[in-house]
Structure 1
């Protein structure tokens, strides 16, 4: 079984077991990241680490064996790592000699290769400094979400509050959201809003991705829902939003559409993850520059009423 087939099979198994993997691992809003470079893992590697491997760890940091050696820290004996991937372009002749790579495409003497790497969690490594305790802030994420919403409105998006079902209407470029008090938590409200904003990113005036006439339950519909849900999951850590694990119920129609597209094409989860990352990056740009000072003052005052700001009824 190829690396792509193996990763796709793991994700299909998780969906069929009742828990799509992008809904796991939300005990912390921190992104999995490399302990040496500090860079956050993105796209398919975010999905692999945060969802398929992170659920047994509380530390978001990871290292390869070589990186651990270079930092003079030691991987505990018997530790089992997690396999992630990286796309690299190499000479075609060199690609044929790679033992840990899978050729995806060839052109003009060059080859695009998917290489695999094994990484180990910080909890499996002796000698790493302890992870600093996370800074909790229950108000600032709401301000961040409000900034994202306002930024998207600036691109021409209309946002309407009320009604019973969240939805994005591409023909009118409108996101419709139930009032915040209809949700069980701020986390559910945030995750659902990000899901609908992810759909809206596909409008022709933005990332130009949507098929306006995709039928509910069709493969095209399933592909878009997969991207929107994954983008919402990617955005949570990027924005510092603790996400709800139940942002969308596993309706049979959604599960069937996801499984249909994944089972037919071993490359689909990689395309979906790449598109979801593009969506997350596009939406995340509207949160840049948000200052937490006021929110931090509110959180630091234990007498303050912690009703989230910005999520009250809208006109």
Structure 2
């Protein structure tokens, strides 16, 4: 009998390779849920406590839900399911999520006058299951039909959110961009967009760029020319930030044709640095936190 193959690639590499494979097929994994035919906007995945996942874990669980057809947003570990009186069905395979933290160790090579301590980041993987894979959970975890919220209410909520950021937003012309020098977002007029929600998804993308200003999050890898790796990194942060914000605000996100030109740059960055998608997701989460007015925390 053949022995099971043990996965020996580092976690960063496994995750990045999966995302690269999608991008090479022309698919952006963070827009998969909206293109899956489920209908309507998709929210963030949730922990068993109802707390939303953050950062790279949002991408990992969106991709898993799309591939396996899970409609419920909630995920939990095997032990959490048992503690709730449920049990994972035999033969079910879980999804990988990650936990990032730091450990502090003594540094024998620290220079004189230093405290002699070194902070070392680490990443730990663990497995979660969708509630659709688990039997006998309390009724509160049963998938419920999404409550219909009118487009008018959702758009009003997005407008209020944008106003709360304090960002200067100008309208006119045929391009959407963030101008870092004068520090404003430029948007075409609403009528220039095929759908109302395309306008707001684009605006949220540009607002993510706005957070990178030196007076805010001070992201340093932005660059003015398209062929620069730093430019690709910043565009990836804005792409993910828009995806997270659309999920939070109930805006449907559709793939944008103009972003197809960024694919080559994203692939180059990810292949050169297997940690880059993790960093981009963390930057995007911090941008969402700043725009939402909440304290920044690790994803």
TM range (shorter): 0.7 to 0.9
Deviation (angstroms), 1:29: 2.7
- Cα distance change on mapping 1:160 and 1:223 into 2, 3 Å: same
Counterpart of 2:87 in structure 1 is 74
State the secondary structure of the residue aligned to 1:246: coil
Give the alignment's TM-score, normalised by structure 2. Answer: 0.82
Counterpart of 1:145 in structure 2 is 158
1:53-109: CA deviation from partner (whole Å, max 9, x where unpaired):
1112111111111111111101111111111110244577xxxxxxxxxxxxxx848
Match of 1:54 among 65, 81, 85: 65
Deviation (angstroms), 1:284: 2.0
| 1:43 maps to 2:55 | yes
Counterpart of 2:293 in structure 1 is 285
- Cα distance change on mapping 1:213 and 1:6 into 2, 3 Å: closer
Counterpart of 2:145 in structure 1 is 133
Match of 1:225 among 224, 228, 235: 235
Match of 1:266 among 260, 274, 288: 274
- Cα distance change on mapping 1:109 and 1:196 into 2, 3 Å: closer
RMSD (CA atoms): 2.2
Counterpart of 1:113 in structure 2 is 122
Counterpart of 2:46 in structure 1 is 33
Structure 2: runs of 5+ lacking an equivalent: 1-8, 106-115, 295-299
Whether the 8 Å CA contact 1:188–1:246 is kept in 2: the answer is no
Aligned residue pairs total 266
- Cα distance change on mapping 1:236 and 1:80 into 2, 3 Å: same
- Cα distance change on mapping 1:269 and 1:133 into 2, 3 Å: same
Counterpart of 1:161 in structure 2 is 171
Counterpart of 1:191 in structure 2 is 201
1-structure distance, mates of 2:180, 2:257: 20
Give the alignment's TM-score, normalised by structure 1. Answer: 0.78
- Cα distance change on mapping 1:49 and 1:213 into 2, 3 Å: closer
Structure 1: runs of 5+ lacking an equivalent: 93-106, 287-315
Deviation (angstroms), 1:213: 4.4
- Cα distance change on mapping 1:18 and 1:212 into 2, 3 Å: closer
